[in-house]
Structure 1
Amino acid sequence: MTMPSPRHTEELFGHHEAEQCFLNAFQTERLHHAWLISGPAGIGKATLAFRLARHLLKGDDPMSPTGRRVRAGTHGDLLEISRQIDPRKGRLRGEITVSDVQPIQNFLHHTATEGGWRVVIVDGVEFLNRFAANALLKILEEPPAQTVLLLTTTAPGALLPTLRSRCRRLALSPLSDDAMRAVLPHVSMDVIKRAHGSPGRALFLARDKDGRIAALAQQALEGQPMESALWQEIGQLAREADGFALLCDLLGEGIAQRARHAAQHGDLAGAARFAEKKSALETLRSQTESFSLDKGQAMRQAFDMVSSLEASRPL
């Protein structure tokens, strides 16, 4: 099961309070020129951004001429900036570069094609490299009239403080279980519970249809020895679509749980040790995916890294 892209998603679940905050500012003519939409991955930040854009562009009806142009990506007053596919590797680049941001300048130097608002969506501003972040900051410092920039991020703390200070915040919360069931009626409750209010994460976890990757991750987290036959299976899983990413996600979640448990019981040194391991795991995943390293070998490294931890409690 896959979800439609944010550009094509018509219904909004769980974020109506944030939407109303934006609409109130618009209706009272106190609309800020830049909005930072933050929250965990996969909860609908970009969906909200496109919904707000459609409202500004008078395309609330998705079947109206304006609504159809927004869906098709052909509306002259809407520009989306996000990570691009690396043609050599066939996957998303690890960062948004200054060349990706430069089209904003040209877009804003022209008057609105339909005489109203111009909207720029930057999806994933945490991926801006230093030069791209500085280029965007200059735009935020001197925004043209009748222009709104909608920025989404999972990590607002990673952004330049000067960039954050020029935005009004819309902090989104994970969806409730009821909202998750409405979004994903065919996904099991077990997966929904493990998704922590993120439909995107639920779909990601649901790809482990037989639960084998989850079982292997649990085995590593419990420090159980890996037999030689399992290493062969791990190599096979690494070659499957998203197998490596899913394993790293599950291992990272398990380590984070142990870190929280240690901190709650006053073991700050243990919590710091778990946090360090989680950071090392994230680095391993990033480097493996960015440089097209051997995922089978990387999975073995991830297992060795995690199984060496002392289990603070059964998960």
Structure 2
Amino acid sequence: MTGERPGVLEGAVAPAENSKLFGHPQAEEFLAQSYKSGKGHHAILIEGPEGIGKATLAFRFANHILNHPEPTTAPDQLADPDPASIVSRQLASGASHNLLHLTRPVDEKTGRAKGAITVDEVRRVGKFFGQTSGTGNWRIVIIDPADDLNRNAANAILKILEEPPRRSLFLVLTHAPGKLLPTIRSRCLPLRLKPLDHEAMRQALAHLGFDMTGPNVERILAAANGSVSEALKLINYGGLDIAVAFEDILVGDGPAVRRQMHKLADILAARDSETIFDFFSSLLTGRVMQQARDAALAGDIGRAERLASLSSTFAERLTVSDAYNLDRKQTILSLLEDLKDAS
């Protein structure tokens, strides 16, 4: 299924439906062999940047376990799920009684995902375990991602992680493990996934049906930083044009640049532009952090600290703007001006 579903980008396949994973053979082998040993951890923290396959790996591992419920007789490798199997169909449709996918709920009024996973959502975990307590089957919870848990929800998850039910498994996804509660991290086995290399990116995008012989392929691969979701934003949401305009604004000056800034802000502030606005937000804060790292490597610690602080300020201003529904165009113009001043 493509971008019609909240949280799934245009051109993507929902992780529960994806039969292929590229670029993480060592992680797959580790999970399969850990499970087969019968000594696997009850909670695995799958870490890594957004869009590199963490959720696909989680569903792939869940499929493996539910198809092979006895660890000692399970294969020592994860196989591609069979889309026609009962387990795969149940996982893809969200109808499995043995798996709960915990993610941001959809707002019925707007059709968009809400801003956080709340404690009400976490209460579904308790009900899930209660309803399946007598089955003897594996019960798997995928938290996707744990970064979206608000404080109360995070504390509620922590209590369950401290006393997990028998034959339960938590697959906890995170884009930024440092932002999670240390107590949650301490109760999970970390599994770090790296951004995809160019060959894995080519395979993943070809699997999604994209022509990998076009003139912009190398630019897309370079700009995506090993993330399939970033590549999809560059290809299907005008991200490549946004990135070019952003760079032109940073190096330009005078009235022409002001016009470019207003044009870019109009595009990003337009209705139904959430995906590309999020792309721009990451582009903006990422640029500041890169400048901070460059300054630190050059020995200019004072400038590095100022830029790092500016990155945090930008992230906070974007969050406040979204939370209070402030004028997005003015927010964008203000951030661009501040970045040009700092540069």
TM-score w.r.t. length of structure 2: 0.84
Could you tell me how far 1:226 is from its partner in structure 2? 4.8
In the other structure, the counterpart of 1:196 is 225
**Structure-to-structure mapping, 1:254-269, within 5 angstroms:** 254-269=287-302
In the other structure, the counterpart of 2:132 is 111
Structure 1: 5+ residue stretches without partners: 311-315
Task: Indicate the larger mover: 301-310 or 222-231.
Answer: 222-231
Task: Indicate the larger mover: 182-191 or 20-29.
Answer: 182-191
Q: Check the 8 A contact 2:233/2:239 in 1, yes or no.
A: no
Task: Indicate the larger mover: 179-188 or 110-119.
Answer: 110-119
Distance 1:8 1:112, change over 3 A: farther
| SS of match in other structure, 2:318 | helix
Structure 2: 5+ residue stretches without partners: 1-9, 69-80
In the other structure, the counterpart of 1:234 is 264
Code of the residue aligned with 2:84 in structure 1: it is M
Deviation sequence 1:205-248 (CA, Å, 0-9, x none)? 22454844223311333363354533542343121623433332
Could you tell me how far 1:76 is from its partner in structure 2? 0.6
Task: Indicate the larger mover: 99-108 or 282-291.
Answer: 282-291
- 1:149 partnered with 2:149: no
| SS of match in other structure, 1:85 | coil
Distance 1:32 1:104, change over 3 A: same
Could you tell me how far 1:292 is from its partner in structure 2? 2.5
Code of the residue aligned with 2:170 in structure 1: it is L
Q: Check the 8 A contact 1:223/1:308 in 2, yes or no.
A: no
**Structure-to-structure mapping, 1:28-39, within 5 angstroms:** 28-39=37-48
In the other structure, the counterpart of 1:313 is none
Q: Distance in 2 between matches of 1:32 and 1:154?
A: 20
Could you tell me how far 1:50 is from its partner in structure 2? 0.5
In the other structure, the counterpart of 1:178 is 199
Q: Check the 8 A contact 1:34/1:148 in 2, yes or no.
A: yes
Deviation sequence 1:56-98 (CA, Å, 0-9, x none)? 1118422111211111110111111011223344432222110
Task: Indicate the larger mover: 220-229 or 93-102.
Answer: 220-229
Code of the residue aligned with 2:293 in structure 1: it is R
Q: Check the 8 A contact 1:6/1:47 in 2, yes or no.
A: yes
Distance 1:225 1:253, change over 3 A: farther
% same residue: 37
Selected match of 2:280 from 236, 247, 251:
247
Q: Check the 8 A contact 1:98/1:132 in 2, yes or no.
A: yes
Distance 1:247 1:210, change over 3 A: closer
Distance 1:286 1:88, change over 3 A: farther
Could you tell me how far 1:10 is from its partner in structure 2? 0.8
Distance 1:114 1:51, change over 3 A: farther
Distance 1:29 1:243, change over 3 A: closer
Task: Indicate the larger mover: 230-239 or 140-149.
Answer: 230-239
- 1:43 partnered with 2:52: yes
In the other structure, the counterpart of 2:317 is 284
Deviation sequence 1:246-291 (CA, Å, 0-9, x none)? 3322222322221121111111111111112222222222222333
Q: Distance in 2 between matches of 1:166 and 1:206?
A: 39
| SS of match in other structure, 1:169 | strand
Q: Check the 8 A contact 1:244/1:299 in 2, yes or no.
A: no
Code of the residue aligned with 2:264 in structure 1: it is I
Selected match of 1:93 from 111, 114, 122:
114
